[in-house]
Structure 1
């Protein structure tokens, strides 16, 4: 057997193994990206759900004019805790882009301001509640827009 045939066979084997490894690496990257995107989608949905449920609890407390102020305040505070807003926010911040993490912090902060207005004794139709509720809604919309951009496929 000639040495050129042996070299050609060895070079062919190296090229074949190299292309297989490169293809596997591309597939692994794509699969990892999809898993990461799905995880972010799940955690994002959980955080948005927690924000919405806490907002609903705070809103319900602000509508309860027949309750004493301290009971409304207790209900508003419980809304944040009962739905795990902060823990879900931290989970999202660990996985998200800096833009999404900042938007999540802003939305959670605006929700806290809404809660604080209710704790201070303001009812739903009071200008103080209306203003912070709108600010929360805007912050949540910005968060959802940032999430859409983050979850878009490249």
Structure 2
């Protein structure tokens, strides 16, 4: 009788422990998937905001009819939306992503300042500014890919 009771209790203990372990792993997988999705959205929004600002800055740099004061105001207005994405990234991303992302942010901000000061699309200095921005974009994108482990994912 004691043997049967002991075996039943041991079986119940093993079943409960196994269920808890499986549920714990499932919860952890769901949390990791949710965190990855959050980072994907954050990284996408950050890159999108800065890329959009870069394109709009180059657009106003082509407008010869825009007075300098209006050009500077327009450049600041275009870039204003990038700050929110920067602050979110600084809080939620690991330092391996934040460092290149801030460099990219600052390169677009330097472009904003140059366009606001009169940099034109056909100026010789445009290439240096554009190269700076593109290098920042590539470094940031690469750091994000490492963090998200997208290179390790198999595509079939």
Q: TM-score by structure 2 length?
A: 0.89
How far does residue 135 in structure 1 lie from its aligned partner after superposition?
A: 0.5
CA RMSD of aligned residues (A): 1.5
Q: In structure 2, list runs of 5 or more residues that go unmatched.
A: none
Q: Give, in whole Å, the separation in 2 of the partners of 1:114 and 1:128.
A: 10
What is the Cα deviation at residue 8 of structure 1?
Answer: 1.5
Determine the structure 1 residue equivalent to 2:72.
Answer: 73
Alignment of 1:1-154 (within 5 A): 2-81=1-80, 84-152=81-149
Q: Distance in 2 between matches of 1:95 and 1:33?
A: 14
- What is the CA distance between 1:65 and its match in structure 2? 2.1
Kindly tell me the number of residue pairs found equivalent between the two proteins.
151
- Deviation (angstroms), 1:94: 2.1
* 1:34-58 C-alpha deviation (Å, 9 max, x unpaired): 0110111111111111111111121
Identify the range of structure 1 (123-132 vs 47-56) with the bigger mean alpha-carbon deviation: 123-132
Please state how far the C-alpha of 1:61 moved relative to its aligned partner: 1.6
What is the deviation of 1:141? 1.1
Report deviation, 1:66: 2.4
| Equivalent position SS for 1:127 | coil
CA shift at 1:128, angstroms?
Answer: 2.7
Q: Secondary structure at the match of 2:125?
A: helix
- 1:66 aligned counterpart, secondary structure: coil
TM-score with structure 1 length normalisation? 0.91
Distance 1:102 1:110 in 2: 13
Q: How far apart are residue 130 of structure 1 and its match?
A: 2.0
The whole-number CA distance in structure 2 between the counterparts of 1:91 and 1:76 is 22
Q: Aligned partners of 1:114 and 1:66: how far apart in 2?
A: 20
CA drift of 1:101 comes to 1.4
